[in-house]
Structure 1
Amino acid sequence: MDIKVLAGTAIPVLMLLAGETAAQDKKTLAIVVKGLDNPFFEQINLGCKKWLSENPDSEYACLYTGPASSADEAGEVQIVDDLLSRGVAAIAISPSNAPAMANRIREIAPTIPVMTVDADFLEKDHDLRKTYLGTDNYLMGVKMAEEAKKLKAEGGSVCLQLGNVAAANINARAQGFRDTIAGVKGVDRLTGQNGWTEIAGCPVYTNDQADLANQQMSDVFTANPDLDAFILVGGWAQFAPQAYTQVTDQVMAKLKSKELIIVAGDTLPPQAQAFREGRSHAQVGQRPFEMGYKAPDVMIQLIKGESVEDPLFTGLDVCNTEDPGFCKDN
């Protein structure tokens, strides 16, 4: 049975769960991501597929789905609503809008196990899910700040590029970055702490759109020729390598001299290539394949009522000029 990639409406979900042959009689373990247009989530899909190929005799099937666009927060909530209404054995959600998704889960009050993957609910809503599987996002922000400090020991002007305003995982990274750079907890904005200042007009929010992310970078570089650091808290711009190349071509001399530094999230192949070309100075990568591969087993444990740790962190990979690590050319 192949993974069915569903997007946008309840009809494809109904078709899957209504069954085609005996294979479709398996119980469904659903993984719902923010959007199918993001290559990061395709790695979760590949992990889900690998689990399925290794467990052909399981009574469970892994289903990967989400809205067509990462900007469709309401669509993701609707897909979760449809899956719960039609009947799944367990569900793992990467909420694009954490409060909105949590509100809907609270309203539905499903009896099946609910967990989060990649992105979590806000702390006040943790009672709605059994566990979180994914990155320690605050730590990811810490690592990004550590890389920036190595490159700019005296600090400087900085712009943070974020995703959706209500994405708890991205906001946790931003908090980890700011706290670490500033050397004090709870910093809302960098205003000179340890020499670091966020420029006017930043942070910028991509809504998880690669084209918008690249346009924002270009606009920031043009308006701020003396910018010291640009931090891609997620890898959106690099997910469109041709556009990212064009944007960074504008500032390649500054990147080479490290007058301007770029630290970015994630280490997917086009991002590793960008790093090798000197279009970023450090990459802090998550492990999305591992998230997709492990999620079905965690859901089965929850279905069986077994004790599961909360959270379940999948680790990070750091590439920098001193140690290219995961990003080296193999």
Structure 2
Amino acid sequence: MRYARYMAAAAAMVALSAAGAQAQDKKTLAIVVKGLDNPFFEQINLGCQDWAANNPDSEYECLYTGPASSTDEAGEVQIVDDLLTKGVAAIAISPSNAPAMANRIREIAPDVPVMTVDADFLEADRNLRATYLGTDNYLMGVKMAEQAQRLKAEGGTVCLQLGNVAADNINARAAGFRDTIAGAKGIERLAGEGGWSEVEGCPVFTNDQADLANQQMADVFTANPDLDAFILIGGWAQFAPQAYSQVTDQVMDRLKSNDLIIVAGDTLPPQVQAFNEGRSHAQIGQRPFEMGQRAPDVMIQLINGEAVEDPLYTGLDVCTHEEPGFCAQ
């Protein structure tokens, strides 16, 4: 644990040093994500870079950083701690462990603007940040449920694949899915509501690891040969396209006949390819590039004391084979 924290601190210092070397006179707007190993967050990075390219004369620079691994919750907290200690003009955080990150922000009590991006603090801790920029995650779960209901009007058995146990954004999606299926709020586990039941051993938690996500899918398919629906609340398994192809190859006949349906979050390029190959029935896409592109402007507004809406939603894209939309090739 100490080594992981040391490496996280070193990453933050290297990031700040590199940024300072490039633009010594510029103030830093930091975006800290859950892990640099997740291709979803690379889209946020590209948005950050796009903002920088379009604002070359700004007094601010956009710094994108995070722990090397999405499993390093303590490392992310340490990076935020070090950035705030070193000095940034504002910071946007995608907390992996929302309670742990909020506790540290509460302890530090930074005098610079703090916002969340992509993932939020728990509701009780949202007074610690100025605003949230990203997906309406509850609505994302609602849209996943709507696709499951459309494809399986009579319901059936389902497994939800989640990420980190303490990730507020993922838990909000799961709540949106279950509430919509059940027609009532506060459903913790589907047990026949709306004709749907969660199978034993589910939900499964990937800890944002693509290899684990694919292994879980394979295990669930083996243990439940008559499973009706698998819901990737996030896109983890599809982030490893070769492994995902191997897993779905085992059930392709069932996928083609809609005997088994897969609804997945996100629409990154490998996911769109999988969708077009018939390896999922619907993709509910977020807009991470827009998150990275907009975050610096929001931070500057906060620095200037301007009023900023809370939350700031970036929208969703729904792809189905009937209406591929964003995913059309």
Instruction: Report the TM-score when normalising by structure 2.
Output: 0.96
Residue aligning to 2:263: 263
Instruction: Indicate yes or no: 2:159 matched with 1:155.
Output: no
Residues 96-115 of structure 1 aligned to structure 2 (within 5 Å) = 96-115=96-115
> How far is the alpha carbon of 1:15 from its aligned partner?
4.6
Q: Distance in 2 between matches of 1:162 and 1:11?
A: 30
Q: Distance in 2 between matches of 1:17 and 1:281?
A: 43
Specify the SS of the correspondent of 1:323.
coil
Q: Distance in 1 between matches of 2:215 and 2:13?
A: 39
Residue aligning to 1:169: 169
Query: What root-mean-square deviation, in Å, do the aligned CA atoms of Structure 1 and Structure 2 show?
Result: 1.2
User: 1:70-115: per-residue Cα shift (whole Å, max 9, x none)?
Assistant: 0000000000000000000000000000000000000000010000
> How far is the alpha carbon of 1:25 from its aligned partner?
2.5
Compared CA separation, residues 66 and 17, structure 1 to 2 (3 A): closer
Compared CA separation, residues 249 and 309, structure 1 to 2 (3 A): same
Residue aligning to 1:14: 13
User: 1:270-314: per-residue Cα shift (whole Å, max 9, x none)?
Assistant: 000100000000000000000000000000000000000000000
Percent identity, please. Answer: 80
Residue aligning to 1:3: none
Residue aligning to 2:292: 292
Q: Distance in 1 between matches of 2:233 and 2:14?
A: 37
Residues 298-317 of structure 1 aligned to structure 2 (within 5 Å) = 298-317=298-317
> How far is the alpha carbon of 1:237 from its aligned partner?
0.1
Question: Is the 8 Å Cα contact of residues 161 and 205 (structure 1) preserved in structure 2?
Answer: yes
Compared CA separation, residues 17 and 158, structure 1 to 2 (3 A): closer
Residue aligning to 2:30: 30
> How far is the alpha carbon of 1:219 from its aligned partner?
0.3
Question: Is the 8 Å Cα contact of residues 8 and 79 (structure 1) preserved in structure 2?
Answer: no
Gaps of 5+ in 2: 1-5
Q: Distance in 2 between matches of 1:25 and 1:87?
A: 13
Residues 116-265 of structure 1 aligned to structure 2 (within 5 Å) = 116-265=116-265
Specify the SS of the correspondent of 1:25.
coil
Q: Distance in 1 between matches of 2:80 and 2:33?
A: 10
Q: Distance in 2 between matches of 1:210 and 1:148?
A: 23
> How far is the alpha carbon of 1:9 from its aligned partner?
2.9
> How far is the alpha carbon of 1:20 from its aligned partner?
5.3
Q: Distance in 2 between matches of 1:65 and 1:202?
A: 33
Compared CA separation, residues 15 and 134, structure 1 to 2 (3 A): same
Residue type of the alignment partner of 2:147: E
The runs of at least 4 consecutive aligned structure 1 residues that moved more than 3 Å come to 11-22
Number of corresponding residues: 323
Instruction: Report the TM-score when normalising by structure 1.
Output: 0.96
Q: Distance in 2 between matches of 1:277 and 1:68?
A: 31
Compared CA separation, residues 151 and 60, structure 1 to 2 (3 A): same
Residue type of the alignment partner of 1:146: E
Specify the SS of the correspondent of 2:283.
strand
Gaps of 5+ in 1: 1-6
Question: Is the 8 Å Cα contact of residues 8 and 66 (structure 1) preserved in structure 2?
Answer: no
Residue aligning to 1:275: 275
Residue aligning to 2:51: 51
Greater shift in the superposed pair: 217-226 or 17-26: 17-26
Q: Distance in 1 between matches of 2:325 and 2:219?
A: 31
Q: Distance in 2 between matches of 1:304 and 1:221?
A: 53
Question: Is the 8 Å Cα contact of residues 11 and 79 (structure 2) preserved in structure 1?
Answer: no
Compared CA separation, residues 243 and 28, structure 1 to 2 (3 A): same
Residue aligning to 2:94: 94
Residue aligning to 2:3: none
Q: Distance in 1 between matches of 2:153 and 2:103?
A: 43
